[in-house]
Amino acid sequence: MNENAAFDKKIGEEDLFLLFKHSSTCPISQAAYEEYETFANENMKVKTYYLVVQEDRPLSNHIAESFQIKHESPQAILFKKSEPVWHASHWKITNDSLAKAMKENE
């Protein structure tokens, strides 16, 4: 199963999860990744996933095209019942913004 098909299958199986798209060469993305990691470690009941854009550009593009969300990195997307219900990029990705988005969509 290719990465796109695996993602499509996963999105149908999960009720609520957070996806983080990370650029391994961007300092802004590194700061956002640290915020994402803090959120994930403090909210273990929430399923979280991340992808490194340089390692999986086809999947990143598939997600952008499938949900009409312009690709950015860093980027966080909250999915609920197979649909994106919130997304943010760059400096808007903080532990607080992730926690607020999760609380609003539980």
Q: At residue 89, does pLDDT exceed 90?
A: yes
How much is the pLDDT for 1? 66
Quick: pLDDT tens for 15-25.
999 999 999 99
Q: At residue 2, does pLDDT exceed 90?
A: no
Quick: pLDDT tens for 38-65.
999 999 989 999 999 999 999 999 999 9
Q: What is the SS3 assignment for 2?
A: coil
Q: At residue 104, does pLDDT exceed 80?
A: yes
The pairing of beta strand 75-80 with beta strand 16-22:
antiparallel
How much is the pLDDT for 36? 98
Cα–Cα distance for residue pair 81/53, rounded to 1 Å:
24
